[in-house]
Amino acid sequence: MKLIISIFYFVFAFFFGSLDVSDDIVMNIKAGKASELVKTFDEKVSIKIIDQEDVLSRSQAEANLKYFFEKHPVKNFGSIHVSNNSATLQYLTGSLETSNGKFRVSVLIKRNLVSQFRIETDNE
């Protein structure tokens, strides 16, 4: 009986637990948690932080985001728009307010993994 319950739990968690990865991304940006944020990243991710752009591994992206969040402590993050273009493609944009300025965040999610992450200066 315990085996059946365990199997049911893992199947349920796999199919329904992470359906909306954008919620995890928003929550971790608000908290400024680079280590948790990169758990949603693909093995290689196209990343742009202000004026530096490159394709990085997950660990390199984590180091760069950690540095950004240390230099720019998060005050607020608001999700402006989440679009679901297909079952496997999602796009998230948001406004990030830090103690050192405002930024626009754009995230491209493919098959529940972040493939592109951008933090750009907000030129209102």
Paired with 56 in beta bridges are 45
Q: Where are the domains of the chain?
A: 19-121
Class of the 19-121 domain? Answer: alpha beta
DSSP assignment letter at 18: T
- Sign of the C-alpha dihedral computed for residues 18, 9, 34 and 28 taken in this order: positive
Rounded Cα gap, residues 32 and 8, in angstroms: 34
Rounded Cα gap, residues 92 and 33, in angstroms: 18
Please tell me the pTM assigned to this model: 0.80
pLDDT tens by residue, 9-42:
555 544 544 447 888 999 999 999 999 999 999 9
Rounded Cα gap, residues 64 and 99, in angstroms: 18
Contact 117, 107 (CB under 8 A): yes
pLDDT tens by residue, 52-107:
999 999 999 999 999 999 999 999 998 778 887 777 899 999 999 999 999 999 99
